[in-house]
Structure 1
Amino acid sequence: MSPTLPASQDPTDQAEGAPAPSPCRFLFPGIRSIRGKLLVMISIVAGLGIIATATASFALWRMEDKIRIIESFYELNQKVLEIRRHEKNYFLFNDRKDLLNALDYVDQVRASIVAVKAVLLENKSELELLYDEELGRYETISRQLLRDELSPRNKQSLENALRKHGQNITKSIFEMDTKARIRVEREVAGYQKTAVLILALAVGLGSVLILYMMRWIMRPLTAIREASSRIKQGEMSSIPMNSDIQCSVEGIELVNSLNLMLQALNAKQNQLVQSEKLAAIGKVTAGIAHEINNPLNNISLTAEVLLEDLPNLACSERMDMVRDILVQSDRAREVVHHLLEFSRTRKSNIMVPVDLVALMESSIALVKNQFRLGGIVHNFHHPDEPVLISGTPNHLQQVLVNLMLNAVQAMQPDGRLDLAVSAQGQEARVVVSDTGAGIAPEALTRIFDPFFTTKNEGTGLGLSLSYAIVKDHGGDIEVKSEPGRGTTFTLIFPRLSKDL
C-alpha cells in the first residue's frame, strides 16, 4: 500500500558516476560477520590477558628472588651482630669463651655469604672481599688474642684492630643490605609500572574495540531504523541495501528478511483492500442496477415506438428518438465506467497528482443511487479550482466510497450527508458528515482497529484499511461523533501546489 521507490533509487544514494566509498573501511575489513569480529576481538583480549598473566608470573618469580636476597642479607646481618655481641662481651669480661663463640659465628657468616652469593646476580665482589679479607683478618686477630704469651701492649693493639675490623664488617654488611633493599624496591616499582602499563593498554584497547563494535553494530541498525521511518512515511516500500548494511552479514540477512516480510505484508494488505472493495461493490450493486435499469427501460421503450410507428413518424421525430437512445446509452456507459474504475485492481502504488474535487464527484456518482434508495439528501461543497494532493486515485476513492456507504447505513430516511473538499494553507481537507446514530464514546477509540465493527454485518476492515491508506498518503483522519446527532470524519492530506 505504500508508495514505492525502488531500493536502487534511494534518494540518499550518491549521484551516478560518483566514486563509491569502501563500505567497510574500519578494523578487520575482511571480516563482515559479527561472530567473526567478536572472535577476533576475544582473541585479542585473550592475548592481552595471556601477556598480562605471563608478566605478572614473571614479576612474582623475580620478587620471590628479591625477597630471598633480603632474607639472606637479614640472616647475614644478624650473625654479624652476634659476632659483635660476643666481641663486646670479650672486651667487657675478658672471657676467652666469648672470643671462641665469635669465631664460631665467623664460620656461620661465611656460610651465609655463600648463600647470599647463590641468589645475588650482581655486585658479588663486595661479598668476596668481605669473605676473603675482612673475615680472614678478623679471624686471624681473634686467634692471636687467644695466645697466652701476649704482652699487654700487643694485646691492646690486637684488641683495637679487632674492634676496627668488626666495625668494618658491620659497616660493609649494612651498606650491602641497604643497596640490596634499594635495588629490590626499584625493581618492584618497575614491575608495578609494567603491570599498570599493561592494564592501561588492555583497558584502552578494550575500550576502543568496544566502541568500534558498538559503532559497527549500530550503523546497519541505524540505517534500517531510518529506512523503516521512511517506509512509515510512505517514501519507499523496501529497505535499501546501502553500504552501512553491506558491512555486516547479519545486517544483510536481516534486511532481506525484513524486505520479504514487507512484501508479504503488502500482498496481504492488497488482498484485504481488494476484498473490502468487493464488499463495497456488493453494497452499491442495488443502486447500480437501478441506475442502469432506468436508461435501459428508456432505450427499450423508444426502440418499441420506432419499431411500431416508424413509417408514420417524421424524419425529425425519428432523429430525436435515436438521439434519446444514444443519450441513455451514454448514461448507462458512464455508470458502468465508474463501477469498473472502482473495482479495477491496481498493483501500482506510484503517487500521482490527484484532484480531490474531481475524485469526490466521481465517488458520489458511484453511490448516488444508494442515496436515492436510502432517502438521503447529500450536499457537496467545494471550491471552483482543483485541490491537489499526491496519491493513488483508486485507493483514495475506496476511502471516500467506504465513508459514504457507512454514513448511508448509519442514517434513517430523510437523513443529510454533508460532503466538503477544501484547501487550508498547506493542507487539503475532505469532510464527510452525517446525521446518523453516532458512535458511542467507548467504541470511538477502537473504530480503526482491524475487525472491530458495531454493525451486525461487516468485516470490520473498512475503517482500518481506510486509516492505513490515509496514513500511507502522509495524511491523518480525525473523527468527531455524538450519539444521536451524527458523526463527522475529516481527512487531512499534504497539499500540492497547482503549478505541479
Structure 2
Amino acid sequence: MQTIRGRIIAIFIVCMIFICALSALYWWSVATIRSRLHVSEQFEDLLNDILEARRYEKNFLFLRDYDSLKENIYYLNQVDKLTQQLAQDITRLFGKNAFKYFDDSVKNYQNIMLSFAQPENRSSPDEKGEEVRRLGKIVADFTNDLLMYKRKRIHDVLTVTLSLPFGFLGVSLLLLMVVTHLISSKVLQPLALMRQTTGKIAAGDFSPIEYEGNGEDEISQLLAAFNRMAGELESRQEQLVQSRKIAAIGTFTAGIAHELNNPINNIYLTAETLLEEYEDLSPPEGKELVLDVLNQAERASEIVRNLLDFSRSERPAYTALNI
C-alpha cells in the first residue's frame, strides 16, 4: 500500500470493517437487552405469583378461608410451571445448587399447602404455619434477588450500548485525523511546493523540487514528472536564448554591413571618378574628391569606434598621473 490510492482504500476498508463490527455489536446489545427484558418479565410474573400466593396464604392462616387456600394452590402451581420454564436462566445466573434449593423450597411450600386441603389436616394449619411462612419468605426473597440481578445485568448491557456511540465517535475522529494527516503531508504540502516552484519557473528559476518521498506514490511520481518538465523547459529556454542571440547577431551584422557599406560605396565611387577623370580635373576639383574620400573614411572609422565602445563591458577609467 505505497500509493495514496492504496492507503485511502485501506482506510476505507478499515472504516467499513469497524462500522460492520460496531453494527454487529449494537445489534447484539439490542438483542441481548430484548432477551433479558423478556426473561425479566417472566421473573416479575414469577414474583407476582409468589406474592399472590403469600397473600392468600396469610388469609388462610389467619382466617381459615379455604377459598384463599385454593387460590394459594393455584398460584403455587403457576409458580412451579414458571420455575421449570426458567430453570436454565436461573441455573445460568445463580448456579445449579441455588436453583435446586429454590425448586425444593417451592415444592415443599406447595406440598405443605396441598396438605392443608386434605380433610384430615383441616384442623392443623397452626402446626405448620411457621414453616409455611419461612418457605414463603425464602421463595419470595430468592425471586426478588433474581429480578434485581436480572435488572442489574440489563442495566450493564444498556450502559455498554450507550457507550458505543462514544466509541464510534472516538474511532471516527482518529480515522479522520489519520486521513487529514495523510492528505496534508502527501497531497497538500507537495502541491504547495509545486505552486511555489511554478512561480519560480515563471521568474526564470528552473531549480527542481526537493521532496522526500518514496517515489512510488502518485504525488512523488507527479513531482518527478514536474522536475523533468522543468529540466526540459530549462534546456529549451537555453536553446531559445541561443537562437535569439544568433538572430540578434544576424540582425546586428546586417545593420553594421549596411552602415559600413554606404561610406565604402561612396569611397569607391569617388576613387573611381578620380581615376577616370584625373587628367581632366582641375586642382580644386581633385582636392574636393580627395576630401570626400577622407570624409567617408572618417565616417567608416566613426562607425567602427562606436562598435568598439558598444562591445566593451567596462568603460575606461581615467586617472591623473604626475609626469
TM-score (norm 1): 0.49
Q: Give the direction of change, closer, same or farther, for the CA distance of 1:220–1:245 in structure 2 (3 Å limit).
A: farther
3-state SS in 1 of match to 2:94: coil
* 8 A Cα contact 2:50 2:75, kept in partner: yes
CA RMSD after TM alignment: 4.5
Matched residue type, 1:123: F
In the aligned structure 1, how far is the partner of 2:172 from the partner of 2:79? 48
Tell me if 1:299 matches 2:270.
no
The answer to whether the aligner puts 1:127 opposite 2:99 as a matched pair is: yes
One-letter amino acid matched to 2:47: N
Residue type of the partner of 1:75?
D
Aligned counterpart, 2:109: 138
Task: State the distance in 2 between where 1:44 and 1:216 align.
Answer: 20
In structure 1, C-alpha distance between the alignment counterparts of 2:211 and 2:294, rounded to whole Å: 63
Point out the more displaced range, 79-88 or 240-249: 240-249
CA deviation vs aligned residue, 1:156-181 (integer Å, no higher than 9, x gap): 12223222322221111112211222
Tell me how far apart the structure 2 counterparts of residues 72 and 306 of structure 1 sit (CA, whole Å). 143
- Offset of residue 321 of structure 1: 8.8
* Counterpart check, 1:167 vs 2:137: yes
Q: Is the 8 A contact 1:70 1:177 kept in 2?
A: yes
User: By how many angstroms is 1:210 displaced?
Assistant: 2.4
When you count helix as a share of all residues, which structure comes out higher? Answer: 2
Amino acid at match of 1:296: I
Call closer, same or farther: CA 1:241–1:310 in 2, change over 3 Å: farther
Q: Which segments of 5 or more consecutive residues in structure 1 lack a partner in the other structure?
A: 1-27, 342-353, 359-383, 386-500
Structure with larger Rg = 2
Per-residue CA deviations over 1:450-485 (Å, capped at 9, x if unaligned) read xxxxxxxxxxxxxxxxxxxxxxxxxxxxxxxxxxxx
Give the structure 2 partner of residue 367 of structure 1: none
Given the alignment of the two structures, is residue 148 of structure 1 paired with residue 119 of structure 2, yes or no? yes
CA shift at 1:256, angstroms? 3.6
Equivalent residue for 2:13? 43
Deviation at residue 227 of structure 1 after TM alignment: 0.7
Query: Equivalent of 1:249, from 206, 214, 218?
Result: 218
Q: Contact 2:29–2:157 (CA<8 Å) still a contact in 1?
A: no
Q: Deviations over 1:172-211 (max 9, x none)?
A: 1112211222233234324544663354234213322322
Matches within 5 A, 1:301-380: 301-304=269-272, 307-308=275-276, 327-331=298-302
Identity across aligned pairs (percent)?
Answer: 19
What letter corresponds to residue 71 of structure 1 in structure 2?
E
Whole-angstrom distance in 1 between the partners of 2:214 and 2:107:
84
Equivalent residue pairs, number: 298
Change in Cα spacing, 1:216 to 1:157, as seen in structure 2 (3 Å) is same
Distance 1:115 1:300 in 2: 137
Distance 2:142 2:62 in 1: 25
Cα deviation, residue 323, structure 1 = 7.1
Q: Which has the higher contact order (CA 8 A, sep 6+)?
A: 2
TM-score by length of structure 2 reads 0.71
Counterpart code for 1:304: E
Distance 1:151 1:246, change over 3 A: closer
Equivalent position of 1:208 in the other structure = 178
Structure 2 unpaired stretches of 5+: 318-323
Within 2, Cα distance between the matches of 1:145 and 1:114? 24
Distance in 2 separating the partners of 1:337 and 1:251? 53
Q: 2:29 aligns with which of 59, 64, 74?
A: 59
Structure 1: how far apart are the matches of 2:165 and 2:73?
A: 47
Look up the equivalent residue of 2:61 and give its one-letter code: F
- Structure 1 stretches of 4+ with a deviation exceeding 4 A read 191-195, 244-247, 287-294, 308-313, 317-339
Which residues in structure 2 correspond to 1:257-268 (within 5 Å)? 259=229, 263=233
